[in-house]
């Protein structure tokens, strides 16, 4: 027997989820579109104007009539108004608009009509300026042209890879060994040690930064990639062990017992059985750890420093924001470049994501 109430509830839930997903996607779409737009277009119109919309479109252009008193009321093309009114645009009787473009000394008059238009003046120069340090011309309000070199993020991109890959692989390997020991090996203090690991999940990493920094400075390790690898490994181990333990402890005991009967050692069982069977959990943690390390700013700043040669993507973006706060075409392009690799990693491993997170959550 069909349940109309349940069907309506399911439709409502799906519609709500779709709506939430669309709302979350709007900023990302705006970021992507803005990264391809011209600087003048970004300053003068919203990113949504790339879609068809009704707007005033220029149909003709005339020079400023001679002898106009720009300080008073002017009459142009049959409409009257002040300079500020013409700058904003004055409607005509036939539905058009007369707009003064420029300043009082140097400008032009545009005759505009209402029409469906889309601002599709896209360019790839923004990515060239940000990713390769390409030179470009910057025109100021007084008409002077200045040649400016873009922000080269290629080195920061490589530095982020150098930091993120080992900081993801090392805790996975260490946590996998530890999770196997907690799940399938019997030794004194196993329960107490596991409780301590779980308790570490609630400890904020900020309270450990200063003590670790002092130790690194004492042994001369601060400012190196090894320092940030070890820091990220320590901060991520608690979650990794907890997540992998839930999955490994639910694997069939018969498989391990058969391997031990055949003479396999713990290391052989771990490497040949546990690791291949634990791919979903490993992938789930890899997504968490990689995204966290890739988007990290604080740990990299403290343990690597702010030297230009060692900066990661987040540090380079923060520097661009400080030096080019008004250049949205560069900021959006740099931000989207920093998002590409995390998006690739997530979509490449997302089929394992839910399986890994749900491991051990349901008994029976």
CB 148 within 8 A of CB 216: no
Confidence grade of residue 165 (pLDDT, cut at 50, 70, 90): very high
Mean pLDDT of the chain: 81
Confidence grade of residue 355 (pLDDT, cut at 50, 70, 90): low
Q: Is the pTM of this model over 0.85?
A: no
Q: Helix (H, G, I), strand (E, B), or coil: what is residue 198?
A: helix
| Residue 302 burial (CB count, 10 A) | 17
pLDDT for 291-314, tens place per residue? 899 998 889 888 888 777 788 888
Instruction: Considering only CA atoms, give the Rg of the chain.
Output: 30
Residues of 326-344 as b/e, b for ≥16 C-beta within 10 angstroms? ebbbbbbbbbbbbbebbee
pLDDT at 79: 78
Instruction: Report strand pairing: 74-76 vs 79-81.
Output: antiparallel
Q: Which listed CATH number (3.10.580.10, 1.10.3720.10, 3.40.50.2300, 2.40.30.110) goes with 154-358?
A: 1.10.3720.10
Rounded to 5 degrees, what angle do the CA atoms 102, 108, 113 make? 105
DSSP assignment of 244-282, as one string? HHHHHTTS-HHHHHHHHHTT--HHHHIIIIIHHHTHHHH
Domain boundaries, the chain: 1-48, 52-117, 154-358
CB 248 within 8 A of CB 274: yes
CA distance 360 to 250: 6
Query: Which residue did the predictor score with more confidence, 193 or 132?
Result: 193
Percent of the chain with pLDDT strictly greater than 90: 11
Tell me which residue of 236, 223, 118 sits closest to 170, measured CA to CA.
236
pLDDT for 104-132, tens place per residue? 766 777 777 777 888 888 888 888 777 77
Tell me which residue of 113, 112, 106, 111 sits closest to 64, measured CA to CA.
106
Percent of the chain with pLDDT strictly greater than 70: 87
């Amino acid at each position: 027997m069909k349940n109309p109430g349940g069907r309506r509830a399911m439709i409502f839930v799906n519609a709500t989820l779709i709506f939430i997903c669309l709302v979350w996607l709007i900023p990302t779409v705006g970021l992507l579109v803005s990264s391809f737009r011209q600087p003048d277009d970004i300053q003068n119109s919203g990113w949504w104007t790339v879609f068809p919309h009704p707007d005033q479109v220029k149909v003709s252009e005339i020079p400023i009539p001679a002898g106009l008193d720009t300080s008073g009321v002017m009459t142009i093309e049959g409409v009257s108004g002040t300079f500020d009114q013409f700058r904003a645009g004055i409607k005509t009787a036939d539905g058009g608009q007369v707009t003064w473009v420029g300043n009082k000394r140097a400008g032009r008059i545009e005759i505009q009509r209402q029409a469906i238009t889309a601002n599709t003046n896209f360019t790839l120069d923004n990515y060239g300026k940000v990713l390769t340090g390409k030179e470009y011309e910057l025109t100021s309000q007084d008409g002077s042209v200045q040649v400016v070199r873009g922000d080269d993020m290629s080195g920061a991109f490589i530095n982020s890879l150098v930091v993120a890959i080992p900081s993801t692989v090392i805790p996975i390997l260490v946590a996998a060994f530890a999770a196997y020991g907690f799940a399938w090996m019997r030794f004194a203090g196993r329960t107490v040690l596991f409780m301590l690991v779980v308790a570490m999940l609630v400890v904020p990493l900020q309270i450990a930064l200063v003590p670790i920094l002092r130790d690194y400075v004492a042994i001369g390790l601060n400012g190196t990639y090894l320092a940030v690898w070890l820091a990220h490994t320590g901060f991520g181990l608690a979650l990794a062990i907890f997540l992998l333990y839930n999955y490994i402890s639910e694997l069939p005991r018969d498989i391990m017992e058969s391997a031990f009967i055949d003479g396999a050692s713990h290391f052989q069982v771990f490497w040949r059985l546990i690791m291949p069977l634990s791919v979903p959990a490993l992938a789930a943690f890899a997504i968490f750890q990689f995204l966290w390390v890739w988007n990290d700013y604080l740990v990299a700043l403290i343990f690597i420093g702010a030297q230009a040669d060692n900066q990661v993507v987040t540090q380079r973006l923060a520097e661009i924001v400080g030096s080019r706060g008004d250049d949205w075409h560069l900021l959006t392009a740099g931000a989207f470049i920093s998002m590409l690799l995390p998006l690739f990693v997530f979509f490449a491993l997302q089929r394992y994501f839910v399986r890994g997170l749900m491991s051990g959550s349901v008994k029976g």
